[in-house]
């Protein structure tokens, strides 16, 4: 089978790591993700990953409860580092070499991120997990994903979620919602669909970075997306 993509940025949400337990890291879900990622990496795909931290701490909800927003966002950045370390450990247990790069200095937990170092590691066949968001408060990990995808010149940004694509409304709340096979950035703006925050969507639009939103929780789906099968929703 020939892969449609040879270099990708995969965005995973922190919440998805909770699995059914509702908090923290569900090792079963973590290992399922690691197995899917290993499969595509060993098929020759260069894989960079950004993972959120909402299963541990979310800066915005912390701010709503009285935390200083800057400190809250910094706590959220640290949560993404914990998730990144967990994922890199799970990948290495699967026999897939991985490296954690951090957007702020955090040696020896991870090397500090640079585009050149990330590309060097990708060329060596390692999965590169970029932790710490953008390193700045007031930016989400969606924006960090878009930024890293553009910087690393990946062919596509894959957004692994709980649902199988983008719908006219939240399918978990509205049973009449219908799914898009593909949708333009402008239509996302015009319909007010919040698949990512506006900063991330604008960054992708201005740099022509295509996005595929798909269900990561079904084993095998990541490989199907890489092969170009029409699952999920393409944003262009």
pLDDT score for 64: 77
Least confident of 57-61, 146-150, 165-169: 57-61
Interior CA angle at 58 toward 52 and 63, to 5°?
150
Q: How far is CA 158 from CA 9, 138, 146, 219, 234, in A?
A: 6, 23, 10, 15, 9
Q: What does the DSSP 8-state code read for residue 39? A: H
* Domain assignment of residue 136, yes or no: yes
* Domain assignment of residue 103, yes or no: yes
* Domain assignment of residue 193, yes or no: yes
CA within 13 Å, CB half, 208:
2
As a whole number, mean pLDDT of residues 76-82 equals 97
Tell me the Ramachandran region of residue 81: left when phi exceeds 0, alpha when psi lies from -120 to 50, beta otherwise: alpha
Which residues form the domain of 110?
Answer: 7-235
CA within 13 Å, CB half, 130:
30
The CATH number for 70's domain is 3.40.1160.10
* Domain assignment of residue 101, yes or no: yes
* Domain assignment of residue 1, yes or no: no
pLDDT score for 20: 86
pLDDT score for 1: 59
Count of domains for the chain:
1
**pTM, to two decimals:** 0.94
Q: Write out pLDDT tens, residues 162-206.
A: 889 999 988 888 989 999 999 999 999 999 998 899 999 999 999
* Domain assignment of residue 207, yes or no: yes
* Domain assignment of residue 2, yes or no: no
pLDDT category of residue 85 using cuts at 50, 70 and 90: very high
* Domain assignment of residue 92, yes or no: yes
pLDDT score for 61: 74
């Amino acid at each position: 089978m020939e892969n449609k993509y040879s270099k990708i940025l995969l965005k995973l949400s922190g919440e998805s790591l909770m699995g059914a337990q509702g908090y923290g890291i569900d090792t079963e879900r973590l290992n399922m993700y690691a197995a899917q990622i290993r499969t595509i990496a060993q098929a020759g795909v260069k894989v960079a990953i950004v993972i959120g931290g909402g299963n541990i701490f979310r800066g915005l909800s912390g701010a709503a409860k009285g935390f200083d927003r800057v400190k809250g966002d910094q706590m959220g950045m640290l949560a993404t580092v914990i998730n990144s370390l967990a994922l890199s450990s799970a990948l290495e247990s699967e026999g897939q070499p991985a490296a954690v790069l951090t957007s702020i200095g955090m040696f020896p937990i991870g090397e500090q991120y640079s585009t050149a170092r990330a590309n060097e590691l990708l060329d060596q066949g390692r999965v590169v997990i970029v932790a710490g968001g953008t390193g700045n408060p007031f930016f989400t990990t969606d924006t960090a994903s878009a930024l890293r995808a553009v910087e690393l010149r990946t062919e596509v940004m894959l957004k692994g979620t709980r649902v199988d694509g983008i719908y006219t409304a939240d399918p978990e709340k509205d049973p009449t919602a219908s799914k898009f096979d593909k949708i333009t950035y402008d239509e996302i703006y015009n319909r007010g669909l919040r698949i990512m925050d506006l900063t991330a969507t604008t960054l992708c639009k201005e740099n022509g970075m295509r996005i595929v939103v798909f269900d990561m929780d079904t084993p095998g789906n990541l490989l199907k997306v890489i092969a170009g099968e029409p699952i999920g929703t393409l944003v262009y």
